[in-house]
Amino acid sequence: MAVFNIQQIKEINDSIEEIAKVIKPKCEIGAHDKISLSVLLKTQKPAKKVTHFKCKREYSDAIVTHFVKEKEVVKNRFHKNNQSNIFVLK
C-alpha cells in the first residue's frame, strides 16, 4: 500500500466518511470508470442500485481496501485499480 502524507490522509478520510453514509451490510464496493461501469452493468442487469463517488485516482485503492478489510464489504468483480470513481452497489 502507498504511503500518504497528512493532507492526503485527511482527503481519504473525508471520502471514507462520505461513502460510509450509504454503505449497508449487503453492499458491494469497487473503483471503476463511470461510463465503462454503466455499460458493464447494463449487460449484467443487476438488481442493485449504483451510487458513484468522485475521488483522486491514487486514493481509490486505499478507500476500497479500507471498506473491504475494516467494514467487511464485498469487493465487486468489476473493480479496477487507480480509477477516478468509487461505486457502491446496494
Q: What is the pLDDT of residues 4-62, one digit of tens each?
A: 999 999 999 999 999 999 998 889 999 999 999 988 888 877 678 899 999 999 999 99
pLDDT exceeds 90 at position 82: yes
Q: Residues, the chain, total?
A: 90
The domain ranges of the chain are 6-89
Q: How many CB atoms lie within 10 A of CB 87?
A: 24
Compute the CA torsion angle 65, 75, 27, 4 (nearest 10 deg).
20
